[in-house]
Amino acid sequence: MASIFNIQILIFFFLLIIFSILRPTQQQQQHPLDPLTPSELNLVQTILTHAYPTSNNNLTFQYVGLDDPDKPTLLSWLSSHSTTKIPQRRAFIIARINHQTHELIVDLSNHSIISNQIYKGHGFPLLTFDEQIAANALTLAYAPFVASVSKRGLKINEVVCGSFAVGWYGETRNNKRVVKVTCFYLDGTVNMYMRPLEGVTVTVDLEEMKIIGFWDRLTVPMPKAEGTDYRESEQKPPFLPPLKKITVVQPDGPSFMIDGHRVRWANWDFHLSFDMRAGPIISLASIYDLEKQIFRPVLYKGFVSELFVPYMDLDEEWYYRTFFDAGEYGFGLCAVSLEPMRDCPENAVFMDAYVVGQNGKPVKMSQIFCIFERHAGDIMWRHTETAIPRTIVREARPEVSLVVRMVSTVGNYDYIIDWEFKQSGSIIATVGLTGLLEVRGSKYTHKDQIEEEVYGTLLAQNTIGVNHDHFLIYHLDLDVDGDSNSFVKSNLKTTQVPDHGSPRKSYWRVVSETAKTESDAKIKLGSKATELLVVNPNKMTKMGNHVGYRLIPKSGAGSLLSDDDYSQIRAAFTKYNVWVTPYNKSEKWAGGLFVDQSRGDDTLATWSQRNREIENKDIVVWYTLGFHHAPYQEDFPLMPTLSSSFELRPANFFESNPVLKVKPPQDVMRLNCSILKVV
């Protein structure tokens, strides 16, 4: 009796396991753009380790991600209303195999490597966390380094190190794959970035995993720990007066539906994916047109293609800090778990993602995206009409939008990446900068002492906040009502009026230029009043206007480095704020596929030298959202968020205001709330 019972339990558990294995595929159909699942990642790992057994091969996975189906294949699948078999799933892998960079494609259906190429050009793949950790550990155990720490009267067990990409500064020989390790000091704070171990640099060869360089060049006082910790537990009174509780409530739950990675909300439908390198990828965003009663495509794909963060300090320990946060560190790899109620509001839902470790095994990253409806108190549209006798008209609609958020913490800095969708058709991409500055240790304790160039602001005693920039370049593959689009610059041009032609002497008019080739579409913002449009020259409104979307930039910051500067050559995409290219599946990464120590031979700027035709083609817009950052004392020890954004806004896309027919919310919604749980 007992044994039968045990067998029943075993059968039960067996079925349970089978069920839980099968469940994911039963629950939802996979979308061709879904990121690789843990089992797909495991499969890739198995296939590669089978091909290159680690017993006699040195194999590390630097990048694993979905190899997107070709655009025509995907569009054809979509046009079949997703009823046909999904296009072949493939993985794209960048691996270091026996000290060479391989680009591989694995077919996930027939479990085979269908492409395997050794990359011989300049530049190296993403750094893995594992190799950074190993390089840091090497440094901490390195006797000369330990001596340097000791010489300064510091405790080695309070030192934490970071591995920094070294850039390229004109070397002509083939470089080794190395990082520079630079270290920081805890000892009474978790904010070690405010306590740099200035003057000591260790170079680590990542392939040999050994130290190949060590410099202890100068000693400056260690900035003090006091006042640097940002944890609540470490703060002493007085505190700012606490605010009364405030929360957003959706008694009937959210208005969006998430089906796998497909998000539907209000009149929007899009796919949200995750990539180790790019972070969030918005694909196939289309909006329902009430009048035409169809979904109309807007954005085939949008993501942060690269981040360039050059520091403006020429000293030995600093000159090379010209980081490419996506191509060197992985903007997605550096994503962090979002904290409910703090990183995202009460009504947010969260989504996990998977990356791979250096060994190729999937690693779950929890709560990497949050998705929520934003009810900020803004007005979607309104009007009060008082001019009509015996009538007062007042109509107003509150704005509610949908936000997709990820935070990537690339070492010291936290980048808040928001994609916001409005019912009016606007997509707003916002970047918030917060986290910790990269500061330089210094002997100075007061500005009056400073007579040399210190490359920044004295933020606290012995602490210089070094000047730098953040340039985020967005890949925006707009498909406005179809994939054949043109880029139009609508210049607002002052026109003189001939004498006696009118009492006016001038006015402006819109002079539109359609960019024929790539060189026509390179734009430095700021000098001219220009509206930037992507139009579909094959589709018109009833009035005869080409349907379009506008790019409304809110920042026109561009790189201030000289064109011949090595890091500027690598980040040549920052020379213009806007570029337009014809769609090319391989042109994803504005700084190149292999960015670590790249030499600028595979960038948006080099691709564009071909000056290809872009009129009435499938085009991609590249926009750089830039920040110049000269630090202020308020940024110490942790900076309050500084935001900027751009808007993609329909421009003759609809026949008329698409949110006129939004029902106002039910009137006088008052909630009687009791607090269930306050921890």
* Helical (H) or strand (E) element with 459: strand 456-460
Q: Should residue 586 be labelled a site residue for a copy of itself when binding is judged by CB under 8 A?
A: no
Any catalytic annotation for residue 315? no
User: Which one among 70, 130, 352, 634 touches a copy of itself, defined by CB under 8 A?
Assistant: 634
CB of 315 to a copy of itself, least distance (A): 8
CB of 66 to a copy of itself, least distance (A): 25
User: What is the β-pairing status of strands 401-410 and 439-441?
Assistant: unpaired
Region from 106-114, 245-253, 355-363, 475-483 binding a copy of itself, contact rule CB under 8 A? 245-253
What is the end-to-end Cα distance of the chain in Å, rounded?
48
Q: CB nearer to a copy of itself: give 147 or 529.
A: 529
Rounded distance, CA 274 to CA 253, Å?
A: 25
Q: CB nearer to a copy of itself: give 45 or 139.
A: 139
Cα-to-chain-centroid distance, residue 61: 21
CB of 671 to a copy of itself, least distance (A): 4
Q: CB nearer to a copy of itself: give 311 or 579.
A: 311
Q: Should residue 500 be labelled a site residue for a copy of itself when binding is judged by CB under 8 A?
A: no
Q: Should residue 1 be labelled a site residue for a copy of itself when binding is judged by CB under 8 A?
A: no
**C-alpha distance from residue 654 to each of 81, 397, 401, 429 (Å):** 23, 19, 19, 21
Region from 15-23, 26-34, 90-98, 186-194 binding a copy of itself, contact rule CB under 8 A? 186-194
Contact yes or no for 658/425 (Cβ under 8 A): yes
3-state secondary structure 86-139: CCCCEEEEEEEECCEEEEEEEECCCCEEEEEEEECCCCECCCCHHHHHHHHHHH
Give the length of the chain.
Answer: 679
CB of 480 to a copy of itself, least distance (A): 13
Residues 6+ apart with CB under 8 A from 464: 439, 440, 441, 442, 444, 454, 455, 456, 457, 458
Q: CB nearer to a copy of itself: give 120 or 447.
A: 447
| HSE (side-chain half, CA atoms, 13 Å) at 509 | 6
Q: Should residue 245 be labelled a site residue for a copy of itself when binding is judged by CB under 8 A?
A: yes
Q: CB nearer to a copy of itself: give 85 or 544.
A: 544
Q: Should residue 307 be labelled a site residue for a copy of itself when binding is judged by CB under 8 A?
A: no
Contact yes or no for 596/602 (Cβ under 8 A): no
Q: CB nearer to a copy of itself: give 327 or 637.
A: 637
CB of 504 to a copy of itself, least distance (A): 5
Contact yes or no for 646/429 (Cβ under 8 A): yes
Contact yes or no for 581/620 (Cβ under 8 A): yes
**Residue reference for tokens 């469940």:** 23
User: Which one among 50, 249, 294, 366 touches a copy of itself, defined by CB under 8 A?
Assistant: 249
Q: Should residue 640 be labelled a site residue for a copy of itself when binding is judged by CB under 8 A?
A: yes
Any catalytic annotation for residue 413? yes
Q: CB nearer to a copy of itself: give 105 or 160.
A: 160
Q: Should residue 246 be labelled a site residue for a copy of itself when binding is judged by CB under 8 A?
A: yes
CB of 451 to a copy of itself, least distance (A): 13
Cα-to-chain-centroid distance, residue 627: 15
Report how many residues bind a copy of itself under the rule CB under 8 A: 193
* Burial of 220 from C-beta contacts in 10 A (0-12 / 13-18 / 19+): middle
Q: Should residue 172 be labelled a site residue for a copy of itself when binding is judged by CB under 8 A?
A: no
User: Which one among 397, 522, 575, 612 touches a copy of itself, defined by CB under 8 A?
Assistant: 397
Q: Should residue 199 be labelled a site residue for a copy of itself when binding is judged by CB under 8 A?
A: no
CB of 224 to a copy of itself, least distance (A): 13
Q: CB nearer to a copy of itself: give 589 or 654.
A: 654
Contact yes or no for 598/171 (Cβ under 8 A): no
Region from 8-16, 69-77, 90-98, 377-385 binding a copy of itself, contact rule CB under 8 A? 377-385
Q: Should residue 208 be labelled a site residue for a copy of itself when binding is judged by CB under 8 A?
A: no
Q: Which of residues 332-371 bind a copy of itself (CB under 8 A)?
A: 336-337, 339-348
Region from 13-21, 50-58, 311-319, 582-590 binding a copy of itself, contact rule CB under 8 A? 311-319
Rounded distance, CA 479 to CA 635, Å?
A: 40
> How does DSSP assign 481-544, residue by residue?
TSS-BEEEEEEEEEEEPPTTS-S-SEEEEEEEEE--BGGGG-B-TTSS-EEEEEEEEEEE-TTS
User: Which one among 388, 390, 451, 499 touches a copy of itself, defined by CB under 8 A?
Assistant: 388
Region from 74-82, 87-95, 174-182, 415-423 binding a copy of itself, contact rule CB under 8 A? 415-423
Q: Which of residues 453-482 bind a copy of itself (CB under 8 A)?
A: 453, 455, 457-461, 467
Which of 193, 413, 444, 549 does the annotation list as catalytic? 413
Strands in 439-441's sheet, in edge-to-edge order, are 439-441, 463-466, 456-460
User: Which one among 59, 557, 590, 620 touches a copy of itself, defined by CB under 8 A?
Assistant: 557
Q: Which of residues 426-455 bind a copy of itself (CB under 8 A)?
A: 426, 432, 434-436, 445-448, 453, 455
Q: Should residue 396 be labelled a site residue for a copy of itself when binding is judged by CB under 8 A?
A: yes
Q: CB nearer to a copy of itself: give 604 or 651.
A: 651
Residue among 370, 368, 375 nearest 353 (CA): 368
Q: Which of residues 115-144 bind a copy of itself (CB under 8 A)?
A: none
Decide: helix, strand or coil at residue 395: strand
CB of 85 to a copy of itself, least distance (A): 31
Q: Which of residues 501-520 bind a copy of itself (CB under 8 A)?
A: 501-510
Phi, psi for 633 (deg, rounded to 5):
-60, -25
CB of 615 to a copy of itself, least distance (A): 19
Rounded distance, CA 229 to CA 89, Å?
A: 47
Rounded distance, CA 400 to CA 396, Å?
A: 13
Q: Should residue 81 be labelled a site residue for a copy of itself when binding is judged by CB under 8 A?
A: no
User: What is the β-pairing status of strands 639-651 and 112-119?
Assistant: unpaired
Rounded distance, CA 306 to CA 303, Å?
A: 9
Which of 34, 229, 275, 325 does the annotation list as catalytic? 325
| HSE (side-chain half, CA atoms, 13 Å) at 299 | 31
CB of 318 to a copy of itself, least distance (A): 9
Q: Which of residues 23-62 bind a copy of itself (CB under 8 A)?
A: none
> How does DSSP assign 43-66, residue by residue?
HHHHHHHHHS-TTT--EEEEEEEE
User: Which one among 67, 317, 328, 373 touches a copy of itself, defined by CB under 8 A?
Assistant: 373
Q: CB nearer to a copy of itself: give 26 or 391.
A: 391
Region from 404-412, 578-586, 598-606, 612-620 binding a copy of itself, contact rule CB under 8 A? 404-412
Contact yes or no for 473/304 (Cβ under 8 A): yes
Q: Should residue 601 be labelled a site residue for a copy of itself when binding is judged by CB under 8 A?
A: no
CB of 395 to a copy of itself, least distance (A): 5
Could you give the residue numbers annotated as active site? 325, 413
